[in-house]
Amino acid sequence: MAGIGSSTYWEDLRKQARQLENELDLKLVSFSKLCTSYSSSRDGRRGDTSDTTPLLNNSTQDRMFDTMSVEIEQLLAKLTAVNDKMAEYTNSPGAAALNAALMHTLQRHRDILQDYTHEFHKTKGNFLAIREREDLLGSVRKDIETYKSGSGVNNRRTELFLKEHEHLRNSDRLMDDTISIAMATKENITFQRGMLKSIQSKVNTLANRFPAINNLIQRINLRKRRDSLILGAVIGVCTILLLLYAFH
Protein backbone atom coordinates (compact mmCIF):
# COMPACT_ATOMS: atom_id res chain seq x y z
CA MET A 1 0.00 0.00 0.00
CA ALA A 2 1.44 3.35 -1.05
CA GLY A 3 2.63 5.55 1.78
CA ILE A 4 1.79 3.08 4.52
CA GLY A 5 4.94 3.99 6.44
CA SER A 6 4.27 7.72 6.55
CA SER A 7 2.70 9.68 9.39
CA THR A 8 0.49 11.43 6.83
CA TYR A 9 -1.23 8.14 6.07
CA TRP A 10 -1.90 7.60 9.78
CA GLU A 11 -3.31 11.09 10.21
CA ASP A 12 -5.57 10.60 7.19
CA LEU A 13 -6.93 7.42 8.75
CA ARG A 14 -7.54 9.21 12.04
CA LYS A 15 -9.39 12.01 10.26
CA GLN A 16 -11.57 9.47 8.46
CA ALA A 17 -12.29 7.68 11.75
CA ARG A 18 -13.24 10.91 13.56
CA GLN A 19 -15.48 12.01 10.68
CA LEU A 20 -17.28 8.65 10.63
CA GLU A 21 -17.64 8.73 14.42
CA ASN A 22 -19.21 12.19 14.29
CA GLU A 23 -21.63 11.09 11.57
CA LEU A 24 -22.54 7.97 13.55
CA ASP A 25 -23.14 10.02 16.69
CA LEU A 26 -25.62 12.28 14.86
CA LYS A 27 -27.33 9.34 13.16
CA LEU A 28 -27.74 7.45 16.42
CA VAL A 29 -29.28 10.46 18.14
CA SER A 30 -31.80 10.81 15.28
CA PHE A 31 -32.42 7.06 15.35
CA SER A 32 -33.15 7.20 19.08
CA LYS A 33 -35.54 10.15 18.58
CA LEU A 34 -37.36 8.20 15.86
CA CYS A 35 -37.95 5.34 18.31
CA THR A 36 -39.16 7.77 20.99
CA SER A 37 -41.50 9.60 18.60
CA TYR A 38 -42.93 6.29 17.41
CA SER A 39 -43.72 5.39 21.01
CA SER A 40 -45.20 8.77 21.97
CA SER A 41 -47.43 9.01 18.87
CA ARG A 42 -49.13 5.66 19.45
CA ASP A 43 -51.80 6.97 21.83
CA GLY A 44 -52.77 9.63 19.28
CA ARG A 45 -53.11 7.03 16.58
CA ARG A 46 -55.23 4.82 18.82
CA GLY A 47 -57.76 7.61 19.33
CA ASP A 48 -58.10 8.17 15.57
CA THR A 49 -60.94 6.12 14.13
CA SER A 50 -59.70 6.65 10.56
CA ASP A 51 -58.22 3.60 8.88
CA THR A 52 -56.00 5.61 6.54
CA THR A 53 -54.00 7.86 8.88
CA PRO A 54 -52.50 5.14 11.10
CA LEU A 55 -51.44 3.18 8.06
CA LEU A 56 -49.76 6.20 6.54
CA ASN A 57 -48.01 7.07 9.82
CA ASN A 58 -46.82 3.51 10.34
CA SER A 59 -45.67 3.21 6.75
CA THR A 60 -43.70 6.48 6.89
CA GLN A 61 -41.97 5.69 10.16
CA ASP A 62 -41.22 2.14 9.07
CA ARG A 63 -39.56 3.45 5.92
CA MET A 64 -37.54 5.94 7.97
CA PHE A 65 -36.53 3.14 10.34
CA ASP A 66 -35.37 0.88 7.49
CA THR A 67 -33.50 3.70 5.75
CA MET A 68 -31.70 4.88 8.89
CA SER A 69 -30.83 1.30 9.86
CA VAL A 70 -29.14 0.74 6.50
CA GLU A 71 -27.28 4.07 6.72
CA ILE A 72 -26.00 3.36 10.23
CA GLU A 73 -24.93 -0.17 9.28
CA GLN A 74 -23.00 1.24 6.32
CA LEU A 75 -21.25 3.81 8.54
CA LEU A 76 -20.36 1.10 11.06
CA ALA A 77 -18.92 -1.02 8.25
CA LYS A 78 -16.83 1.91 6.98
CA LEU A 79 -15.55 2.70 10.47
CA THR A 80 -14.65 -0.96 10.97
CA ALA A 81 -12.66 -0.90 7.70
CA VAL A 82 -10.79 2.25 8.80
CA ASN A 83 -9.96 0.65 12.16
CA ASP A 84 -8.64 -2.42 10.33
CA LYS A 85 -6.39 -0.20 8.22
CA MET A 86 -5.13 1.54 11.36
CA ALA A 87 -4.37 -1.86 12.90
CA GLU A 88 -2.50 -2.85 9.75
CA TYR A 89 -0.46 0.35 9.94
CA THR A 90 0.56 -0.29 13.58
CA ASN A 91 2.04 -3.63 12.50
CA SER A 92 4.15 -2.10 9.73
CA PRO A 93 7.95 -1.87 10.27
CA GLY A 94 8.01 1.91 9.97
CA ALA A 95 5.61 2.37 12.88
CA ALA A 96 7.55 0.24 15.40
CA ALA A 97 9.09 3.26 17.20
CA LEU A 98 5.67 4.80 17.89
CA ASN A 99 3.79 1.54 18.38
CA ALA A 100 2.71 2.22 21.99
CA ALA A 101 1.13 5.60 21.21
CA LEU A 102 -0.45 4.26 18.02
CA MET A 103 -1.94 1.26 19.80
CA HIS A 104 -3.41 3.55 22.46
CA THR A 105 -5.12 5.66 19.78
CA LEU A 106 -6.29 2.57 17.90
CA GLN A 107 -7.81 1.08 21.06
CA ARG A 108 -9.71 4.30 21.75
CA HIS A 109 -11.25 4.22 18.25
CA ARG A 110 -12.11 0.54 18.69
CA ASP A 111 -13.87 1.30 21.98
CA ILE A 112 -15.92 4.04 20.32
CA LEU A 113 -16.88 1.66 17.48
CA GLN A 114 -17.93 -0.98 20.01
CA ASP A 115 -20.05 1.53 21.95
CA TYR A 116 -21.80 2.79 18.81
CA THR A 117 -22.46 -0.78 17.61
CA HIS A 118 -23.96 -1.74 20.98
CA GLU A 119 -26.10 1.41 21.10
CA PHE A 120 -27.40 0.84 17.56
CA HIS A 121 -28.47 -2.76 18.21
CA LYS A 122 -30.07 -1.80 21.53
CA THR A 123 -32.09 1.07 20.02
CA LYS A 124 -33.08 -1.07 17.04
CA GLY A 125 -34.26 -3.84 19.37
CA ASN A 126 -36.35 -1.37 21.40
CA PHE A 127 -37.97 -0.02 18.24
CA LEU A 128 -38.86 -3.49 16.96
CA ALA A 129 -40.30 -4.43 20.37
CA ILE A 130 -42.51 -1.32 20.41
CA ARG A 131 -43.71 -1.97 16.87
CA GLU A 132 -44.50 -5.58 17.71
CA ARG A 133 -46.58 -4.52 20.70
CA GLU A 134 -48.40 -1.96 18.54
CA ASP A 135 -49.26 -4.62 15.96
CA LEU A 136 -50.48 -6.95 18.70
CA LEU A 137 -52.70 -4.31 20.30
CA GLY A 138 -54.04 -3.32 16.89
CA SER A 139 -55.09 -6.90 16.32
CA VAL A 140 -56.80 -6.96 19.74
CA ARG A 141 -58.70 -3.74 18.95
CA LYS A 142 -59.86 -5.15 15.65
CA ASP A 143 -61.13 -8.31 17.37
CA ILE A 144 -62.98 -6.17 19.90
CA GLU A 145 -64.68 -4.09 17.21
CA THR A 146 -65.70 -7.26 15.37
CA TYR A 147 -67.08 -8.79 18.52
CA LYS A 148 -68.97 -5.60 19.46
CA SER A 149 -70.59 -5.35 16.03
CA GLY A 150 -71.76 -8.97 16.22
CA SER A 151 -72.92 -9.26 19.85
CA GLY A 152 -73.68 -5.73 21.09
CA VAL A 153 -72.13 -3.55 23.76
CA ASN A 154 -74.52 -4.67 26.49
CA ASN A 155 -73.27 -8.22 26.42
CA ARG A 156 -71.57 -9.12 29.71
CA ARG A 157 -68.68 -10.89 28.00
CA THR A 158 -68.05 -7.84 25.82
CA GLU A 159 -67.92 -5.59 28.87
CA LEU A 160 -65.35 -7.83 30.53
CA PHE A 161 -63.34 -7.91 27.33
CA LEU A 162 -63.40 -4.10 27.12
CA LYS A 163 -62.29 -3.74 30.73
CA GLU A 164 -59.39 -6.08 30.11
CA HIS A 165 -58.47 -4.16 27.00
CA GLU A 166 -58.53 -0.88 28.92
CA HIS A 167 -56.26 -2.39 31.52
CA LEU A 168 -53.84 -3.43 28.77
CA ARG A 169 -53.90 0.09 27.32
CA ASN A 170 -53.12 1.63 30.71
CA SER A 171 -50.27 -0.81 31.26
CA ASP A 172 -48.92 -0.15 27.78
CA ARG A 173 -49.11 3.63 28.29
CA LEU A 174 -47.07 3.23 31.49
CA MET A 175 -44.50 1.22 29.56
CA ASP A 176 -44.36 3.96 26.91
CA ASP A 177 -43.65 6.58 29.55
CA THR A 178 -40.93 4.42 31.07
CA ILE A 179 -39.30 3.86 27.68
CA SER A 180 -39.42 7.61 26.91
CA ILE A 181 -37.71 8.39 30.22
CA ALA A 182 -35.10 5.71 29.53
CA MET A 183 -34.45 7.11 26.05
CA ALA A 184 -33.98 10.63 27.41
CA THR A 185 -31.66 9.32 30.11
CA LYS A 186 -29.67 7.35 27.53
CA GLU A 187 -29.19 10.42 25.34
CA ASN A 188 -27.96 12.38 28.34
CA ILE A 189 -25.56 9.59 29.34
CA THR A 190 -24.30 9.32 25.76
CA PHE A 191 -23.58 13.04 25.70
CA GLN A 192 -21.77 12.88 29.05
CA ARG A 193 -19.82 9.84 27.92
CA GLY A 194 -18.58 11.72 24.87
CA MET A 195 -17.45 14.62 27.04
CA LEU A 196 -15.67 12.29 29.48
CA LYS A 197 -13.92 10.45 26.64
CA SER A 198 -12.76 13.75 25.19
CA ILE A 199 -11.42 14.86 28.57
CA GLN A 200 -9.75 11.50 29.13
CA SER A 201 -8.13 11.64 25.70
CA LYS A 202 -6.71 15.08 26.41
CA VAL A 203 -5.43 14.00 29.82
CA ASN A 204 -3.80 10.90 28.32
CA THR A 205 -2.20 12.99 25.60
CA LEU A 206 -0.74 15.37 28.18
CA ALA A 207 0.40 12.45 30.30
CA ASN A 208 2.20 10.84 27.35
CA ARG A 209 3.90 14.11 26.44
CA PHE A 210 4.87 15.09 29.98
CA PRO A 211 5.95 12.17 32.19
CA ALA A 212 5.89 14.44 35.26
CA ILE A 213 2.15 15.02 34.80
CA ASN A 214 1.65 11.29 34.44
CA ASN A 215 3.48 10.68 37.73
CA LEU A 216 1.41 13.38 39.41
CA ILE A 217 -1.84 11.79 38.17
CA GLN A 218 -0.70 8.41 39.48
CA ARG A 219 0.09 9.88 42.90
CA ILE A 220 -3.31 11.59 42.98
CA ASN A 221 -5.02 8.30 42.14
CA LEU A 222 -3.05 6.50 44.88
CA ARG A 223 -4.03 9.15 47.40
CA LYS A 224 -7.68 8.90 46.37
CA ARG A 225 -7.58 5.13 46.87
CA ARG A 226 -5.94 5.58 50.27
CA ASP A 227 -8.53 8.16 51.34
CA SER A 228 -11.34 5.86 50.16
CA LEU A 229 -9.93 2.98 52.24
CA ILE A 230 -9.62 5.20 55.32
CA LEU A 231 -13.13 6.56 54.88
CA GLY A 232 -14.50 3.03 54.43
CA ALA A 233 -12.73 1.85 57.58
CA VAL A 234 -14.09 4.80 59.59
CA ILE A 235 -17.64 4.16 58.32
CA GLY A 236 -17.31 0.47 59.14
CA VAL A 237 -16.11 1.18 62.69
CA CYS A 238 -18.88 3.72 63.25
CA THR A 239 -21.47 1.25 61.98
CA ILE A 240 -20.22 -1.47 64.32
CA LEU A 241 -20.26 0.93 67.27
CA LEU A 242 -23.81 2.04 66.43
CA LEU A 243 -24.95 -1.58 66.19
CA LEU A 244 -23.31 -2.42 69.53
CA TYR A 245 -24.96 0.62 71.12
CA ALA A 246 -28.34 -0.24 69.63
CA PHE A 247 -28.34 -3.83 70.88
CA HIS A 248 -27.07 -2.94 74.37
**pLDDT 10s digits, 92-127:** 766 555 677 888 888 899 999 999 999 999 988 888
Full residue range of the structural domain in which residue 102 is found: 2-39+57-151
- State the pLDDT at residue 212: 67
User: How many alpha carbons lie under 13 Å from residue 170 in its C-beta half-sphere?
Assistant: 6
pLDDT at 51 over 60: no
The Cα–Cα gap between 181 and 54 comes to 24
Domain of 61: which CATH number? 1.20.58
| 152: DSSP letter | -
216 lies in some domain = no
The region of weakest confidence among 10-19, 35-44, 92-101, 128-137 is 35-44
9 lies in some domain = yes
192 lies in some domain = no
pLDDT tier for residue 40 given thresholds of 50, 70 and 90: low
29 lies in some domain = yes
63 lies in some domain = yes
The Cα–Cα gap between 217 and 212 comes to 9
Q: What is the pTM of this model?
A: 0.50
Q: What is the pLDDT of residues 174-203, one digit of tens each?
A: 777 777 777 777 777 877 777 777 777 776
What average pLDDT does the structure give for the chain? 77
Contact present, 206 and 213 (Cβ < 8 Å): yes
pLDDT tier for residue 219 given thresholds of 50, 70 and 90: confident
144 lies in some domain = yes
174 lies in some domain = no
Which conformational region is residue 75 in: left (phi greater than 0), alpha (psi within -120 to 50 degrees), or beta? alpha
The Cα–Cα gap between 12 and 146 comes to 63
187 lies in some domain = no
pLDDT at 49 over 50: no
Within a 10 A sphere around the Cβ of 29, how many other Cβ atoms?
A: 15
% the chain with pLDDT above 70: 73
pLDDT at 52 over 80: no
Structural domain count of the chain? 1
